[in-house]
Amino acid sequence: MEETARYDGLAGRVLTGSALLSVLVMAHHPTSMHSGIGGPVHAAMILLIGLSTYGLLHIALRRGIGRPAMLAGAIAWGVALLGDIGAATINGFAVPALASRLPTVGPDVFALAWEFNQALARLGVVATGVAFLLWGHGLLHWQGWPAKALGALGLAAGLVPVALLLAGAVRMNVAGAILVYALESAWMFATGVYLWSGRFAKDLALSASGGM
């Protein structure tokens, strides 16, 4: 039990730190393909996505990956990884490589790369929203108000970005991405604190017979 609690703490610290750092890194996202920091910023985002995955999947495994909501959420998160990492790879590495070949590369190539980036970024938002909705809904059935509050926050973090995107209120340009990822990171930060504090283990024991 002590070893398991230590692993909870590690996963919580990783999730909390990656959520905070992702907001910081996004604040330095370049607005031009000619910026020299595009590659490092997107590489850092890919690394932070991987760290977030460690924390989130730790929770899924602890709760029981065979539970329908946990498994479906993990699959949705896997789809989100495909979208987010794909979008970061295009803008962080493919587009700068194309820019270095100007003027032999025409504007249509950059337009195509942008559309691919946007399609993958939107896929990431929707799939992340589905994962957060599934995981958040499950927490609503746990014992104790912290779990229920975190569940409600998960529903908001899953629903609001998707609603804004589908309504056309935000686009996945730099400003829109910062807003969307900040909302998502808020739930991951809160979840990391919940896990790190040891409350997760206590509520898990209380709620072992139900929930997500």
Per-residue pLDDT of the chain in tens (212 residues, 90 and over written 9): 556 767 999 999 999 999 999 999 988 877 666 566 778 999 999 999 999 999 999 999 998 899 999 999 999 999 999 999 999 999 999 998 888 887 777 788 889 999 999 999 999 999 999 999 999 998 888 888 889 999 999 999 999 999 999 999 999 988 899 999 999 999 999 999 999 998 898 888 877 654 45
Compute the half-sphere exposure of residue 53: CA atoms within 13 Å on the CB side of its CA: 17
Nearest to 159 by CA among 185, 136, 192: 136
**Cα–Cα distance, 188 to 185 (Å, whole number):** 5
Amino acid in position 88: A
Q: What is the pLDDT of residue 2?
A: 56
Distance, CA of 45 to CA of 209 (rounded, Å)? 37
Q: Alpha helix locations (H) across 27-144?
A: 38-63, 68-89, 95-99, 107-139
Nearest 10 degrees: Cα torsion 133, 135, 137, 139: -150
Q: What is the per-residue pLDDT for 1?
A: 54
Dmax over Cα atoms in the chain, in whole Å?
64
For position 142, what pLDDT does the model report? Answer: 86
pTM for this predicted structure: 0.91
Separation CA 129–CA 111 (nearest Å): 27
Calpha distance 30→26 (Å, rounded)? 9
3 state SS of 38: helix
Q: In whole angstroms, what is the distance from residue 200 CA to residue 159 CA?
A: 23
Give the model's pLDDT for residue 33: 60
Provide the pLDDT for residue 78: 98
How confident is the model at residue 168, as a pLDDT?
93
Closest among 144, 114, 130 to 184, alpha carbons compared: 130
CA neighbor of 195 nearest in space, from 39, 33, 55: 55
The DSSP result for 149-187, as a single string, is HHHHHHHHHHHHHHHHHHTTS--SSHHHHHHHHHHHHHH
